[in-house]
Amino acid sequence: MANYTYLVNDIIEASENDGTEFVSYIPKMVNRVEERLTKTLDDYGLVTATSVSLPTNQNLLTLPAGTLIIKNIHIKDEGTKIALLQRTDEFINDYWPVSASTGTPKYYAMKGGGTGNTSSTSGSILLAPVPNSTYEYQIHYNVMPTKLEASSNETSYISLNFPNGLLYCCLAEAFGYLKGPMDMLQLYESKYKSEIQLFAAEQIGRRRRDDYTDGTVRIPIQSPPQ
């Protein structure tokens, strides 16, 4: 089940409800579930990168539309990539209170955003020191993917790589909308949480380690009582 049409059919069949009101609600429900999953899953597949430039003496950099979470920011200084350190807005103001002074940026802080609204900008980052040159900034960030839609967008990263979790979360939302049965709502919510745990073990655990530096994953086995 990686196709939007199949997903809608599975929801209708599992809920045993093909009423006009419920069927017309499904597209909105699927999109809300996608937003929930995008903010829950910490997957490399949702990370993108872009490079932007900022004029000298300006320390407020507008983030790309659709930005949810900043993973890291680097600047290029004479061919060398330097990672900026994230701090709070208050730290930036204490560290660099005189905006007329300039230097090579070292810190950044978030200024609004985080909505994932693909139709507008998603906030800015505040830099300190104020840039003394036109640097290139490379931003890695989690982005809100294009949502599933009949005909125009039948598949998405989530539907292709997290199909069971998408289905179970949709069914939990569906039975909540239908106001029961409660045992079915609890069943699919439980199945969804199990899929999240498996996904987290893979993405946050295994994909972010290797046997050479971290050692082989070992699972403790309980010995039988003597």
Domain spans in the chain, listed from the N-terminal domain onward: 4-43+162-208, 47-143
pLDDT at 67: 86
The rounded percent of the chain whose pLDDT value lies above 90 is 46
Average confidence score pLDDT of the chain: 85
CA angle in degrees (0–180, nearest 5) for 158-161-167: 60
**What number is the average pLDDT over the span 174-188?**
93
pTM of the entire predicted model: 0.73
CA distance 119 to 112: 16
Q: Do strands 47-53 and 124-128 pair parallel, antiparallel, or not at all (unpaired)?
A: unpaired
pLDDT at 119: 44
In this predicted structure, the answer to whether residue 10 has a pLDDT above a threshold of 70 is yes
Residue 212: per-residue pLDDT:
54
Please state, in angstroms and rounded to a whole number, the distance separating the CA atoms of residues 32 and 3: 17
pLDDT digit string (tens) for 93-125?
A: 888 887 778 899 999 998 876 544 444 557 889
Structure tokens at 1: 């089940």
Percent of the chain at pLDDT > 70 equals 84
d(CA 118, CA 67): 8
Residue 43 and residue 155 in contact, taking contact as beta carbons nearer than 8 Å: no
Q: What are the Cα distances from residue 59, in Å, to 29, 77, 92, 106, 171?
A: 40, 16, 11, 11, 46
Handedness of CA 37, 42, 44, 50 (dihedral sign): positive
pLDDT at 130: 92
Task: Name which residue leads in pLDDT, 140 or 79.
Answer: 140
Burial class (CB in 10 A: 0-12, 13-18, 19+), 143: buried
pLDDT tens sequence across 43-66: 777 888 999 888 888 889 988 888
* Greater model confidence, 92 or 98: 92
Radius of gyration of the chain from its Cα atoms, rounded to whole angstroms: 23
Q: Is the dihedral of CA 143, 148, 153, 158 positive or negative?
A: positive
Confidence tier at 89 by pLDDT (50, 70, 90) = confident
Q: What pLDDT does 209 receive?
A: 56
